[in-house]
Structure 1
Amino acid sequence: MLTEEHFDLFRKFRIRAMGDKLREMIDDPAYDDMTFEDKMAELLETEASARRERKIAKLNREAGFKLPAACVEDIVYLPDRKLSRDRVARYASCKWVEDNEVLVIISKTGCGKSYLCQALGNSACRNLHGVTYTRMADMFAELSRARAHADGSYFEKMDRLKTIKLLIIDDFMTTPISTQDAVDLFEIMEAREGKQATLIASQLEPEEWYLRIEGELMADSILNRIATASRYLDIEGPNMREYFAKQKENKE
Structure 2
Amino acid sequence: MNSNQTVEKLRQMRLSAMADIHYQNVKNNRFSEFTPDQYVTLLADHEWEDRQAKKTERLLRQASFKQKASIGDIDYSHARNLEKNMFERLAALGFVQKKENIIITGPSGVGKSHLAQALGNQACLVGIKTVYSTTSRLLGKLKLSKVDGTYIKELKKLQNTQLLILDDFGLQAFDSVTREIVMDIIDDRFGESSTIVSSQIPVSAWYDLIGEGTIADAILDRLVNSSHRLDLKGESLRKGILKNE
Deviation at 1:2, TM superposition (A): 5.1
Deviation at 1:138, TM superposition (A): 0.8
Secondary structure of 2:79 counterpart:
helix
Secondary structure of 2:223 counterpart:
coil
Secondary structure of 2:99 counterpart:
coil
Residue in structure 2 matching 1:182, options 168, 179, 182: 179
Aligned to 2:93: 94
Residue in structure 1 matching 2:191, options 186, 190, 194: 194
For each residue in 1:135-164, what CA deviation from the matched residue of structure 2 results, as whole angstroms up to 9, or x when unmatched?
111111111111122xx3111112222332
Aligned partner letter, 1:197: S
Aligned partner letter, 1:16: S
Deviation at 1:38, TM superposition (A): 1.1
Secondary structure of 1:225 counterpart:
helix
Secondary structure of 1:224 counterpart:
helix
Alpha-carbon contact 1:64-1:134 (below 8 Å) kept: yes
Q: Distance in 2 between matches of 1:207 and 1:36?
A: 65
1:154 aligns with 2:142: no
Aligned partner letter, 2:14: R
Q: Which sections of structure 2, spanning at least 5 residues, go unmatched? A: none
Q: Which sections of structure 1, spanning at least 5 residues, go unmatched? A: none
Correspondence list, 1:93-132, <5 A: 93-132=92-131
1:19 aligns with 2:16: no
Number of aligned positions between the proteins? 245
Aligned to 1:51: 51
Aligned to 1:85: 84
Change (3 A) 1:64 1:35: same
Q: Distance in 2 between matches of 1:17 and 1:128?
A: 20
Aligned to 1:165: 162
Aligned to 2:35: 35
Q: Distance in 2 between matches of 1:86 and 1:2?
A: 57
Q: Distance in 2 between matches of 1:178 and 1:66?
A: 26
Q: Distance in 2 between matches of 1:85 and 1:34?
A: 46
Aligned partner letter, 2:49: S
Deviation at 1:7, TM superposition (A): 2.8
Q: Let me know the Cα RMSD of the aligned residues.
A: 2.2
Alpha-carbon contact 2:3-2:26 (below 8 Å) kept: no
Aligned partner letter, 1:135: T
TM-score, length-scaled by structure 2: 0.90
Aligned to 1:224: 221
For each residue in 1:172-214, what CA deviation from the matched residue of structure 2 results, as whole angstroms up to 9, or x when unmatched?
1122201121111112211211111111111111111122122
Change (3 A) 1:31 1:77: farther
Alpha-carbon contact 1:104-1:233 (below 8 Å) kept: yes
Deviation at 1:130, TM superposition (A): 1.3
Aligned partner letter, 2:64: G
TM-score, length-scaled by structure 1: 0.88
